[in-house]
Structure 1
Amino acid sequence: MTLPCLIQFAQVHEQFRLPELRSIAELNGIQLDIPEEVDVKRPFMIINLSSEDDAKILAARCILIKNVLELWGHGESYEVLHGRNKENMPLWQRYATDTTFKFLVTAYNHSIHKARQKSIMETFDYMAWEGRIDLASPEVTLLCTEEYRDRGNSHTRAKHEGEGSFRQVYFGRLLAEGTARDLIQKFDVKQRAYYGNTSMESEISLLMANQALSAPGRLIYDPFVGTGSTLYTCAQFGSYVCGSDIDGRQMRGKGGVWLLQLSERRLMGLDVTPGIMRSAAQYGVASLILDLFTFDVTRHPWRSGGIFDAIITDPPYGVRAGAKRLGKKDKAVINDKPPKPGNADAPAHLRPNYIPPTKPYELSELAVDLVALSVHLLKPGGRLVFFLPTVNEAYQDVDIPLHPHMKLVSNSLQDFGNWGRRLVTMEKLSGPATTDPAIATTIHVPAHKDFREKYFSGFRHAMNLKDPNMMNERR
């Protein structure tokens, strides 16, 4: 027997709703019966679940769920709603005799005045509810919600304008409220002990953790960890995490004291705790951060494959910080001959305080390399979750780098107008670990190629980006 349910989502990140819902359902073995055609722009979705427990699990973990109802009736008018509610009498009759309850009337995109709320409640008098009203801790909460169309910014609606002209009305028993949304405030970057100008906003990092199927006992890695936003949220759900970055200052915090040896800092009474670990301690997840590494991800030290359950990252794409890799921009030859004994003029790269030079790491190359790295490091069934910025006018599905050992799970757009960023989720298929490059050898040039230059030029060439000749000229 299935349970008809209504999910109300938060009115943000429309394209992220279904991927997150499906991910958490997969993580918990929940069978979802979702209609084939779903309007993702509407915050209401009717599905069938197997039990109330399934609804509570989804509401407790999905960041975008506001509440879940056991749906007793719905329609484009109250006449239709009441007809369906009467047909579903077996669902609610068992509560009508001696159950404490409260009745709420709400609306999406509208505010219903109290007199009409009371009149709406009175239309349900045929249910003959005999239990005691308890507004503080009722056994059952009845919820009636009217859905009004979004008029956008073109029209300012008066407080009660259009009341009753709703798109759909829903009624049922409240099964669970979306408690996971409280984590958005907990991980608010502004209240964090350590953060930087590229720190991921809390809601997005929580969504990424859910897409990565973060759970107790799982091992998750961020190869562009920065200030650690993804590590905290994955650890919040019980995963063991580690991260790396080519610039260690991002992980530990900037300051000249870091040029000193660890023992020297301790003797001087200086703080030796990396910035990421300070924030991890603030959230109570420091014990789940296994380690932090400094290296070029294209020359990584991971010699064994099939290590991680998930790789989750927000690669730098040049707007606030650019990606780097080891090497000299001018392609100068490095003298790698060992110095003679006692030679004080040893080559710079052999000195103890040597900092290797770096050069820009083009985004389209980075994306291809990231997929290839994931094929090597992920266990079969493991997930790669990453953001990919793109020019909206020029984007094509083939822009996503593919690999024969990786399956695309979801591709959700966060739209900023001329450009957007896509949360891409891939799953590693069964097969041997490999370091072969991703299959992206066609003549197609993705819309995120040279993204930094396009961003700072105001996307003036957006209309011509699909033309390979134009792209070749820009290269």
Structure 2
Amino acid sequence: MAAPMRHASKTYLLQFAHEHIDFKLAELKAIAHLLRIPIRVDEAKYDKKNPFLVVDLPSEKDGRRIMGRSVLAKSLFELWATAGCFDDLHRELQMLPKDFVKPHLSEDLTYRIRVEAFNRSLSPAEKLERINALPEETLNFQGKVNLKSPDQSFHLLEFYEYEAQKSTKGPVALYFGRWVRFRKSDQCLP
């Protein structure tokens, strides 16, 4: 389970541009040091070819501050679940405390769910299949769908090994989270 508080920090997911891959961790550490934001990254699990990086931060505000300075980070997500297969991801989502998810799913908030894959293209039908498979008992959205400018944007992110376009293997890593911020230069992106 990713999102609930652990040691006065929350777990977030950074999505990096797939450029200058040797510098993304160094940039993150430098910005955190400059802004005096304590971060925790499990460097044993760090894969420079993976555009996604799980990081523990003190607050969403601190994550936004880092994104305001980053050149290589594209997006920041509050990480709700991560797994190596869909069944495990769904189990992780089902274990989320109701009081944690409820404020984000209320009827007065519009929402959307986006499905994105790295190193593989997904058809619209595959994306819809993944959205429909999310556990309804936990992700009981009460608000209306708004695909253009929702109050809450949830993302299912899939990371595949290279050469995955030709492979029938599943994703190496799956992430589900609530979008927090794009990098400053991309604020107008959907």
TM-score (norm 1): 0.35
Name 1:24's counterpart in structure 2: 31
Could you say what secondary structure the match of 1:15 adopts?
Answer: coil
Aligned alpha-carbon RMSD (Å): 1.8
Aligned residues: 175
Please show how residues 10-159 of structure 1 align to structure 2 within 5 Å.
10-37=17-44, 38-89=46-97, 90-98=99-107, 99-124=109-134, 125-126=136-137, 127-151=139-163, 157=165
What are the ranges of 5 or more consecutive residues in structure 2 without an aligned counterpart?
1-7
Distance 2:80 2:37 in 1: 22
**Structure with more relative contact order (C-alpha pairs < 8 Å, separation 6 or more):** 2
**In 1, Cα distance between equivalents of 2:168 and 2:156:** 15
The separation in 1 between residues aligned to 2:50 and 2:124, in whole angstroms, is 25
Change (3 A) 1:145 1:164: farther
Give the CA deviation at 1:164.
Answer: 6.2
The code of the aligned residue for 1:95 comes to: H
8 Å contact kept, 1:101–1:135? yes
Task: Using the TM superposition, give the Cα deviation of residue 36 of structure 1 relative to its aligned residue in structure 2, in angstroms.
Answer: 3.3
Indicate conservation of the 8 Å contact 1:17/1:64, yes or no.
Answer: yes
Q: SS in structure 1 opposite 2:23?
A: helix
Residue 114 of structure 1: how far off its partner (Å): 0.6
Q: Relative to 1, partners in 2 of residues 1:163 and 1:42: Cα closer, same or farther, differing over 3 Å?
A: same
Q: Secondary structure of 1:174's partner?
A: strand
Q: Output the amino acid matched with 1:104.
A: R
Contact 1:61 1:180 in 2 (8 A): no
DSSP-derived class of the 2:130 partner: helix
Amino acid at match of 1:147: F
AA partner of residue 88 (structure 2): V
Change (3 A) 1:164 1:170: farther
Q: Distance in 2 between matches of 1:18 and 1:73?
A: 22
Instruction: Give the distance between the partners of 2:96 and 2:19, measured in 1 at CA.
Output: 32
Moved over 6 A (4+): none
Tell me, yes or no, if the aligned pair for 1:59 and 1:177 is still in contact at 8 Å: yes
TM-score, reference length from structure 2: 0.85
Other-structure match for 2:3: none
**Change beyond 3 A, Cα 1:8–1:110:** same
Match of 2:171 among 162, 166, 176: 166
Q: Calculate percent identity across the aligned residue pairs.
A: 26
How far did residue 87 of structure 1 move? Answer: 1.8
The residue type paired with residue 105 of structure 1 is V
Unpaired runs of 5+ in structure 1?
Answer: 183-475
Question: In the TM superposition, what are the counterparts of 1:54-453 in structure 2 within 5 Å?
Answer: 54-89=62-97, 90-98=99-107, 99-124=109-134, 125-126=136-137, 127-151=139-163, 157=165, 161-162=166-167, 165-180=170-185
- Name the structure 2 match of 1:229: none
CA-to-aligned-CA distance 1:26-73 (integer Å, 9 cap, x gap): 111211011131222221111111111111111121100011110111
Matching residue's letter, 2:30 = S
Distance 2:12 2:174 in 1: 14
The answer to whether the 8 Å contact 1:102/1:133 transfers is yes
